[in-house]
Amino acid sequence: MSEYVVEMKDIIKTFGQVQAVKNGQFNLRKGEIHSLIGENGAGKSTMMKLLYGMYPINSGEIIIKGERMGEITPMMAIERGIGMVHQEFMLVSELTVLENIILGFEPRKGLRLDLDKARADVRKYIEEYQMDVQLDKRISQISVGEAQRVEIIKTLMRGADVIILDEPTAVLTPQEAERLFEILENLKSSGKSIVFISHKLNEVMQISDRISVMRQGQYMGTVNKSETSPLDLTKRMIGREVFLNIEKDYGKVGEKILDVQDVWVSSNKETSKIRGMSLSVRAGEIVGVAGIDGNGQSELVEAITGLRKVEKGKVIVCGKDVTNKSVKVIRGAGMAHIPEDRNRMGLDRAMSIRDNLVTVRVDEAPFSKHGILQLSAQDAYSEQMVKEFDIRPTDYHLPTSSLSGGNAQKVVVAREVSMKKQLLIASQPTRGVDIGAIEQIRNTLEKAKKEGSGVLLVSAELEEIISLSDRIIVIHEGKITGEMMASEANENNLGLLMMGGAKGGAEHA
Amino acid sequence: MSFFSIMSKVLNLSLIYASFRAATPIIYAALCASVTQQANILNIGTEGIMLIGAFTAVTVSYFTGSWILGVLCAMLAGVVIALIMAVGHIKFGADICGIGMGINMLALAITKFLLKAIYDVNGAFSSPQIKVIPKVSIPFLDNVPVIGTLLNNWSLTEWFAIILIIVLQFFIFKTVWGLRLRAVGQFPEAAKTAGIKVNAVKYRAMAISGLIGGLAGAHLSLGYSSQFIENMTSSRGFMGVAAMYFGGANPVKASIGCLLFGFADSIGARLQAYGLPSQFVLMMPYIVTIVVLAISMAAQLRSAKRRQSSLN
Amino acid sequence: MKSVKDGIVRILLTMVLALLIGAVLILAIGENPISAYRALLKGAFVGKLSLGTTLASFTPLLLTSMAFVVAAQAGAFNVGVEGEVFLGGITAAYIGYQWDFLPAPLLMIACFAGAMVVTALWAFIPAWLKAYYNVSEVCTTILMNSVALYITSYLVSGPMSAGSANPQSPPVLVKLKQFMRPSSVNVGIFLAIAVVLLVIFMLYRTSMGYKFRLVGTNPAFADFTGINSKHVFIKAMMVSGMIGGIAGTIEVLGVYGYFLNNFATGLGSNGMLAALIVKSNVVATPFMAFFLAVLKSGAMGMQQATGVPKGLVDTITAVFIIIATMETLFDFLKRRKSDETKIELKDFGVSASSANSAAAGTDGKRPADQKGGKS
């Protein structure tokens, strides 16, 4: 038997036309923490899902504990001691923590579930690794960090000694992340092997023994932590040292375009409820909103844009009080909006590019007259947009479902920006799009600002916030924890505020 | 006659049994719909499953002279129909509302067709040779005043409905099968990663739903009445689905909803004696169903809103 | 267009399969399927009466199927068309014999207008409950059909009774001209065709139709762009109801000349079937409505000429719809390879979007939302 518990060699995986993994290599030693890093879409999650048997591989070789695997199903992977904590938790929110943990491996007593035995079993793990969880709470009642511990216990209960964590810190506060790292150290010292998928270099440098890098589906090498640096890893991940730095031009700032006054907003999650938030955006500036995902960014944007009820407070757009007005009224007051989830909100994937470009103004001339669509005017406009925003393919009769992520986002940006509204709300405008499109979309935002619009930019990418914004607002659990000019901002001071300005964990940010 | 004297005649002890009796077919239907709803399948075909069950029960009972065989065959027929839906929906991607309505049409058409083909009658078939589900009479209860009126001479399937509610409640919330069923319904990906065969769970839920739906039909034609009438379910299956919504697919809560419909039904029937037009009596349960459904959904929305509010 | 050809092939295959199953049933009762089907065709087309009857039963089906389609375009599953036919009919009958102060042409218009108002309001109820309280419109419309039936039945046996043995209303004062006697086909058929053309134009060439389609495919996006999906949904249901009302009015003014108790039973559900078989495709639905009308009117001829009861035709139709809903049933005809890619692509799409929503805090994708929702 080789020194590796898991070996993956020359993996190729395609989804339709897309080659998600071109040349995947990975191996894992017993008792190590091995990080797998790369940008969004680099193929790192796909690699691990292949190992876990969620899709079949096209070619290549997977060896688990010396056994060459012909075909893998999740069940086979579980039987061979592989456990995976998915990015989106695989927890049933209306079941209790205990029920979730035993799901699929339930102890029984006659016909009944044997919850007493289950409880005793789970307790062992809780004590051994100090992972306190409340067994009788429903998943919907516990925090994200706790839900993650539930996921880890689930894998342990199934006898996992290889644990894969897919971007585990993306949804955690720094304190919770710190707790997670302690647990991972405990697991490691008891002999478990851990795969840590991430694109956050500081975390990777803190916790890993070895680090493998992927870029655009390609394996870019494996290094020991002691022999590398964040700079070296960045080069491997991205292929160049720094990227997408837009020449910033602190233009003349005009009057208030957006004024949010002590706004309170509901949410299904406790930490996303907005409880008293005030901010403003002026003409000719980009205001960045930084924060860990799920701290109320989405709710704030929805409240401003008329998609969510404001329970208290006021929203003023271009001098007009639009609190709890309809989206139509708010857009009429001068607002355009690039949404965070383009597939759900930004596009109708069943309809054509043209239909998607005209949606907001379908009732207005020249796109319709007396309620009758003016298709030639719509065609002319679509022709122009496809050219101006470099949307490919150029046939605007195609449904938007046939577009790549980047081109689909260009349709959204074209529709919203071409209206030249005074206020532009951009929520995660570059999420899940390729680098070329990122550059173009960022330039478009810059241009809108130069032409005198006020832009509110919400992004989970600190680098994006720092490089684009003039002013930065940091939020944490639905409250503003800090505000500064972009020139004063860096990952450290923003990171500190993103965890609510708490002291602990600052040195790791 | 004054309003109060009418009311005192209408609202008497036997009303309780009458309500329950009117509710039992709907209770079975609601249970049939609840089982699949737990697996996130809206069983709009409940009505059709029931109707075919009702026809099968009468036919088998008529030809074999055995109500037991009638009931069993009805349940089997229910399973067959439910599995046709299941295969169409799960394997061949049929829209559940579409195929469910198709099943309902099929049930209506094929029972009508067979009524003509087998018995050469239109509309209804009854015969003294149809053996019905026996009533349970407990002699000593005859002498007990209140309980005697209330509990004696129930049909066997009326008693069984109560047992079934409890059994299903137990299975859904206390057993491995139920836990997996709920997990599949609420978050199939999670169930899949836990190693559960999601489709197998769904097929099983549909099959059980078919058993219950077939029994619902048998109860309707051999317990509740003793004949088969074209479209005799008359939307009871849909009322069951509505009750399922009302109870959030929880057997006990859904059954409480059914009792409400049964109550509306039997109150109406009594008021008819005092000049209420029969059409109003007939439409009463439907209206009550809609109103109750609307109120329960509105209440659910309200409580969600309150939970999500930032002001508390 | 490739997809159109695929669609036609699928429908034909489905039709053949349904007729085969029907043939098995006919054999089972000891009759000859070929002569039964021949008698069916003869009963639908040969002779003035037969052809006229086919066209007469086509008229309401054309409208009711279109009513279902309009609602479906906006994402509503309107089973309530049948009730709307009843209520449209009773309103037309009431106005038709009561408002004798109006000259005939105006009275005719009043009948249609009245029916459309009543049915639009009737359809508003389930639409509003769905839009604002998430009450399944499938459930409510089914239940409301029974209510509509009993309301009309009460009216014609009580306050609006003609006093005859059959529960029916007094005769109306205006009628749509019948032109192929002795069949009951009347000029209403041209009106129905005009309505259908208008609906198609509305759906594809007006901003209202655009909004219907938008809300039907992605209501969240509609709301995002400032188009109120709830309002659009309600509007679509009301338009759907109005078309049902027109169907009822044509039946009362053109076929019977009065409101006959129970007259619309099956009209709404058959129209819905026609639409469901072709997945509410606007262009294909009228053809399917015609096909069902042929089956329906031919069934009588078949029953008379052979020993096959006409109930069989409904059975075949139901089998037809069940097979037609199974989207992927005939996928084995395509190459396996392409099939596989499709599934994988889907997986990929799911995983990509779930990654997004996970990063966004998985809000709004809580499994609790899935329950009781539209499946």
Contact status of A253 with chain B (Cβ, < 8 Å): no
Q: Which two tokens stand for residue B270?
A: 């009594």
C160/C89 Cα distance (integer angstroms): 13
Three-state SS for A313? strand
The alpha-helical segments, DSSP class H, found in B39-155 are 46-64, 67-86, 96-119, 145-151
Q: Which residues of chain C lie closer than 8 angstroms to A294, CB-CB?
A: 360-363
- pLDDT of C367 above 80: no
Which among A74, A100, A264 has CB closest to B311? A264
A59: number of Cβ within 10 Å? 9
Mean pLDDT of B267-274: 83
Question: Shortest CB distance from A341 goes to which of C210, C211, C360?
Answer: C360
Looking at residue B187, its pLDDT comes to: 93
Compute φ and ψ for C121, nearest 5 degrees: -65, -40
Instruction: State the average pLDDT for chain B.
Output: 90
Q: Does C332 touch chain B (CB under 8 A)?
A: no
Q: CB distance from B187 to chain C under 8 Å?
A: yes
Domain ranges for chain B: 9-306
| Selection from A451, A450, A487 nearest residue A467 by Cα | A487
User: Does residue A399 or residue C368 have the better pLDDT?
Assistant: A399
Q: Say how many CB pairs under 8 Å bridge A and C.
A: 146
Chain C CB within 8 Å of residue B16 CB = no
Taking the CA of residue A432 and the nearest CA in chain C, the distance in Å comes to: 8
Answer whether A45 sits within 8 Å of C221, measured CB to CB. Answer: no
**Is C341 within 8 Å of C347 (Cβ atoms)?**
no
Residues of A in contact with C206 (CB under 8 A): 368, 371-373
Structure token pair of residue A26? 């990975």
Is residue A483 within a helix (H) or strand (E), and if so which, with residue range?
strand A479-485
What confidence score (pLDDT) does residue C307 get? 81
Give chain A's mean pLDDT: 87
A103 contacts B187? CB cut-off 8 A: no
Spatial separation of the C-alpha atoms in residues C131 and C125, rounded to whole Å: 10
Tens digit of pLDDT per residue, chain A (509 long)? 568 999 999 999 987 767 888 889 999 999 999 999 887 668 888 899 999 988 889 999 999 998 998 888 888 898 899 999 987 888 998 899 999 999 988 998 888 999 999 999 999 888 888 888 899 999 888 877 889 999 999 999 888 999 999 888 877 766 778 889 999 999 999 999 999 998 777 888 899 999 999 988 889 899 999 998 877 887 787 665 444 455 566 667 889 999 999 999 998 877 789 999 999 999 999 999 998 778 899 999 999 999 999 999 999 999 999 999 999 999 999 999 999 988 889 999 999 999 999 999 999 989 999 999 999 999 999 999 999 999 988 899 999 988 888 889 999 999 999 999 999 999 999 887 776 788 889 999 999 999 999 999 998 878 889 889 999 999 988 999 999 998 888 877 887 788 776 433 333 33
B303 touching A, CB under 8 A? no
Question: Are A273 and B175 within 8 A, CB to CB?
Answer: no
Minimal-distance CA residue of chain A relative to B201: A104
Q: What is the pLDDT of residue A363?
A: 92
C-alpha span between A154 and A83 (Å, rounded): 8
Predicted local distance difference test score (pLDDT) of residue C333: 59
Q: How far apart are CA B213 and CA A293, in angstroms?
A: 47
CB neighbour list of residue C109: distance below 8 Å, 6 or more residues apart: none
Q: Does residue A84 sit at the B interface (CB-CB below 8 Å)?
A: yes
Band of residue C366 on the pLDDT scale cut at 50, 70, 90: very low
Closest Cα in chain C to B282? C150
How many Cα atoms are found within 13 Å in the side-chain-facing hemisphere of C58? 26
Q: At what angle do helices A174-189 and A115-129 cross, to 10 degrees?
A: 90
Alpha carbon distance A291, A501 (integer Å): 12
Residues of C within 8 A of B40 (CB-CB) are 370-371, 375
Which of chain A's residues have a Cβ under 8 Å away from the Cβ of C224?
305, 307, 327, 337, 339, 345-346
3-state helix vs strand vs coil in chain C, percent to 5: 75, 0, 25
pLDDT tier for residue C193 given thresholds of 50, 70 and 90: very high
CA distance A371 to B19: 54
- Interior angle at CA B101, CA B99 and CA B106, nearest 5: 90
**Cα first-last separation, chain C:** 30
Task: Give all chains having 3 or more CB-to-CB distances under 8 Å with chain A.
Answer: B, C
CA distances in angstroms from A493 to A230, A234, A311, A391, B249, listed in the order given: 19, 21, 31, 38, 50
Tell me which chain B residues have a C-beta less than 8 angstroms from the C-beta of A268: 307-308
Q: Is A58 on the interface with C (CB under 8 A)?
A: no
User: What pLDDT sits at residue A286?
Assistant: 95
Whether the CB of B179 is below 8 Å from some CB of chain A: the reply is yes
CA distance A171 to chain C (A): 7
What is the least distance, in Å, from the CA of C26 to any CA of chain B? 10
pLDDT score at B157: 92
A351 and C CB contact within 8 Å? yes
CB contact under 8 A, B194 and A113: no
User: Which C positions 261-300 lie with beta carbon below 8 A of chain B?
Assistant: 269, 272-273, 276
Cβ–Cβ < 8 Å for A193, A28: yes
- For residue A55, list chain C residues with Cβ-Cβ distance below 8 A: 344, 347
d(CA C66, CA A297): 44
Q: What is the pLDDT of residues B47-89, one digit of tens each?
A: 999 999 999 999 999 999 999 999 999 999 999 999 999 999 9
Q: Is C129 exposed, middle or buried (0-12, 13-18, 19+ CB in 10 A)?
A: buried
How far apart are the C-alpha atoms of C61 and C317, rounded to whole Å?
A: 14
| SS3 state of residue A197 | strand
Could B190 and A478 be called an inter-chain contact, meaning their C-beta atoms sit closer than 8 Å? no
Min Cα–Cα distance to chain A from C341, Å: 5
pLDDT for res A295: 86
CATH class for the domain made up of B9-306: mainly alpha
Taking the Cβ of residue C369 and every Cβ of chain B, the question of whether any pair is shorter than 8 Å is answered with no
pTM greater than 0.90 (yes/no):
no
Three-state helix/strand/coil letters over B172-239 = HHHEHHHHHHHHHHHCHHHHHHCCCCHHHHHHHHHHHHHHHHHHHHHHHHHHHCCEEECCCCCCHHHH
Pick from A218, A166, A217: nearest CA to A20: A217
Is A84 in Cβ contact with B311 (below 8 Å)? no
Q: What is the crossing angle of helices C207-217 and C188-205, to 10°? A: 70
Q: Treating both helix axes as pointing N-terminal to C-terminal, what angle do B198-218 and B67-86 enclose, rounded to 10 degrees?
A: 140
Q: What domains can be seen in chain C, in order of their start residue?
A: 2-342 (1.10.3470)
Question: Encoding tokens for residue A495?
Answer: 């990171």
Chains touching chain B, criterion 3+ CB pairs below 8 Å:
A, C
CB C275 within 8 A of CB C61: no
> How many CB atoms sit inside 10 A of residue A176's CB?
21
pLDDT, mean over chain C: 85
Q: Which amino acid is it at B90?
A: I
E strands present in chain C: none
Which chain B residues have a beta carbon less than 8 Å from that of C77?
97
Per the DSSP assignment, residues forming a β-bridge with A274 are A265
- Residues B6-31 have a mean pLDDT of 85
Please give the average per-residue pLDDT across C127-154, as a whole number.
93
Sheet holding A423-427, edge to edge: A335-338, A423-427, A454-458, A286-290, A471-476, A479-485
- Which subunits count as partners of chain C given 3+ CB pairs below 8 Å? A, B
Contacts of C298 (CB under 8 A, 6+ apart): C39, C40, C41, C42, C43, C44, C45, C50, C54, C313
- Mutation target vs A (from B171, B196, B308; most A CBs, 10 A cutoff): B308
Kindly indicate the confidence band of residue C334, based on its pLDDT and cuts at 50, 70 and 90: low
Q: How far apart are the C-alpha atoms of B76 and B56, rounded to whole Å?
A: 9
One-letter amino acid identity for A372?
Answer: I
Question: Is C272:C79 a contact under the CB 8 Å cutoff?
Answer: yes
Share of chain B above pLDDT 90, in %: 62
A106 CB within 8 Å of a chain B CB: yes
Q: Which helix (H) or strand (E) holds A165?
A: strand A162-166
Which residues of chain C lie closer than 8 angstroms to A341, CB-CB?
Answer: 353, 356-357, 360
Cβ–Cβ pairs < 8 A, chains B and C: 156
Mean pLDDT of B137-150: 73
- Residue pair B226/B126 in contact (Cβ under 8 Å)? The answer is yes
| pLDDT of amino acid A303 | 96
Which residues, numbered 214 to 253 in chain B, qualify as contacts with chain C under a Cβ-Cβ cut-off of 8 Å? Answer: 234-235, 238-239, 241-242, 245, 248-249
- Which among C205, C223, C341 is the nearest to A372, CB-wise? C205
pLDDT for residue B7: 67
Whether residues A170 and C359 touch (CB distance < 8 A) is answered with yes
Nearest to A345 among C220, C226, C352 (CB): C220
CA A504 to chain centre: 24
SS3 call for A112? strand
Angle of CA points A349, A354, A357, to nearest 5°: 80
**What six digits make up the tokens of A8?**
């993956």
For residues A476 and A295, is the Cβ–Cβ distance under 8 A?
Answer: yes
List the single residue in C208, C226, C344 with the smallest CB-CB distance to A327. Answer: C226
In a 10 Å sphere around its CB, with 0-12 CB exposed, 13-18 middle and 19+ buried, how is residue A43 labelled? buried
Task: Determine whether C104 is exposed, middle or buried from the number of CB atoms within 10 Å of its CB (0-12, 13-18, 19+).
Answer: exposed
Rounded Cα–Cα distance for residues C358 and B250 (Å)? 30
- Provide the shortest C-alpha distance from residue A94 to chain B (in Å): 8
User: Using CA atoms, how far apart are residues A142 and A133, in angstroms rounded to an integer?
Assistant: 9
Residue contact B179–A75, C-beta within 8 A: no
CB-based contact C227 A339, cutoff 8 Å: no
Going by C-alpha positions, the residue among C329, C306, C275, C279 that lies closest to residue C22 is C306
Q: Using alpha carbons, select from B179, A147, B32, A92 the residue that is nearest to residue C371.
A: A92
Q: Measure in Å the smallest separation between the Cα of C327 and chain A Cα atoms.
A: 17
User: What are the DSSP calls for B21-46, one per residue?
Assistant: HHHHHHHHHHHHHHHHHHTT---TTH
> Band of the pLDDT at C365, cuts 50, 70, 90?
very low
Interior/surface letters A451-462, b for 16+ CB within 10 angstroms, e for the rest: eebbbbbbbbbb
User: What ipTM does the predicted assembly reach?
Assistant: 0.84
In percent, the amount of chain C with pLDDT more than 70 equals 87
- Residue A494: what pLDDT? 83
Chain A: residue nearest C218 by CA?
Answer: A348
* Listed residue (A224, A290, A311, A197) closest to A483, CA to CA: A290
Name all domains of chain A by residue range, CATH numbers in brackets. Answer: 4-238 (3.40.50.300), 243-334+421-509 (3.40.50.300), 348-420 (no CATH)
Report CB contact under 8 Å: A311, B190.
Answer: no
Instruction: Kindly identify which residue of chain B lies nearest to residue A101, measuring between CA atoms.
Output: B194
